[in-house]
């Protein structure tokens, strides 16, 4: 085999001189001028036609077919490649849109998680305060309940002390001391009632009456 039929242009070339690595990469066209009758033609001008799609298009299409034949795979035509490129660009846009939407969702999720943690901490703080107030209220209720249970005894004690004050003799030193002790005891009872019930009664009888009414 000494001749090669070029699959691109169909010309026969000698295998001995076939070396495509030295071929010109550009695509040239030439203008020829006649030299006169029987003298042939001469090249007057050469120029590149790479920008001419009517010329480069068929060449590119033929090259794709030849490449697919050599490599054993289907090579897309110009139209198929263009359509595929359009699809790829559309997919890129959609992927970018999805990525931005996902990033927005992650940002919103992080914000919601932050708000959730804030309100969780707030609720825990309020619960602790509520537990503290409940404990204080329970203590106060126990204190008030204790005073209510002792209200009758306090009333009897107040009546006894008032009776002793009414019957006491101011000239007797021993009686004066007993009266002072009774008055101090009554004042101590009044202070305890005011402190426990969070009141400000001036007279012990009023304080005891209040405890009896609330009980």
* Residue pair 211/197 in contact by the 8 Å Cβ criterion: yes
What are residue 141's phi and psi, to 5 degrees?
-65, -40
Nearest to 63 by CA among 55, 84, 49, 22: 55
Task: Write out the chain's pLDDT in tens, 215 residues.
Answer: 578 888 888 888 888 877 888 887 888 888 888 877 877 778 778 888 888 888 888 888 888 888 888 888 776 666 777 778 888 888 999 999 999 999 999 999 999 999 999 999 999 999 999 988 888 888 877 876 776 676 667 667 667 766 766 665 544 555 567 667 777 777 787 787 778 777 787 777 777 777 666 65
Domains of the chain: which residue ranges? 3-75, 78-135, 150-214
Residue 1 and residue 15 in contact, taking contact as beta carbons nearer than 8 Å: yes
CA distance 4 to 195: 120
- The torsion region of residue 196 among left (phi > 0), alpha (psi -120 to 50) and beta comes to alpha
From residue 63, how far is each of 29, 72, 169, 174 by CA, in Å? Answer: 19, 14, 138, 136
């Amino acid at each position: 085999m000494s001749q090669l039929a070029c699959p691109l242009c169909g010309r026969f070339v000698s295998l001995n001189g076939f070396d495509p690595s030295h071929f010109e990469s550009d695509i040239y066209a030439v203008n020829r001028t006649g030299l006169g009758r029987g003298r042939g033609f001469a090249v007057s001008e050469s120029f590149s036609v790479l920008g001419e799609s009517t010329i480069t298009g068929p060449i590119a299409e033929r090259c794709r077919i030849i490449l697919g034949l050599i490599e054993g795979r289907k090579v897309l035509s110009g139209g198929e490649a263009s359509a595929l490129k359009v699809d790829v660009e559309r997919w890129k846009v959609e992927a970018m849109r999805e990525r931005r939407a996902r990033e927005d969702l992650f940002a919103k999720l992080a914000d919601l998680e932050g708000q959730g943690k804030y309100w969780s901490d707030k609720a825990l703080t309020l619960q602790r305060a509520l537990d503290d107030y409940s404990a204080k209220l329970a203590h106060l209720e126990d204190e008030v309940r204790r005073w209510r249970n002792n209200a009758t005894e306090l009333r009897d004690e107040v009546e006894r002390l008032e009776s002793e004050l009414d019957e006491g003799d101011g000239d007797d030193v021993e009686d004066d001391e007993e009266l002072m002790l009774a008055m101090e005891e009554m004042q101590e009872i009044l202070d305890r009632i005011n402190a426990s019930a969070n009141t400000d009664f001036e007279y012990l009888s009023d304080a005891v009456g209040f405890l009896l009414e609330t009980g």
